[in-house]
Amino acid sequence: MGCFARHTKYQPTDDEWRCPICGATSEQGFVVYEPDENESEDCEQLHAADLLFCDKCSHSETGKVFSERIVKLRGLTKCLCCNGTGLIKKED
């Protein structure tokens, strides 16, 4: 069965999965605390409405905010070749 939750446009890599405040990894307590209610049990992608929480510094935010922050920090933009579904590095 497919996932009915809205996925983030950008899926963070394992290296990017860190608390934006203290830098904690998933092993250190930066986790999806409350998954989107429409998420399928076997879906491993980040969802816009997932609530992320850091046990180390108590920071929380949604998957959408987290994903958009990474896109901005990496300087990515929508790819026009694939009808805007992918992201590429912005040209200066």
CA–CA dist 85, 56 (Å, integer): 34
Give rounded-to-5 percent helix, strand, coil for the chain: 15, 20, 60
Give the predicted TM-score (pTM) of the model.
0.83
- Cβ atoms within 10 Å, residue 73: 10
pLDDT at residue 9, rounded to an integer? 87
Q: What pLDDT digit, counting tens, does each position of 36-50 carry? A: 999 998 899 999 999
- Where would I find the H helices in 1-92? 63-74
One-letter amino acid for residue 62 of the chain: T
Every domain of the chain and the residues it spans: 1-92
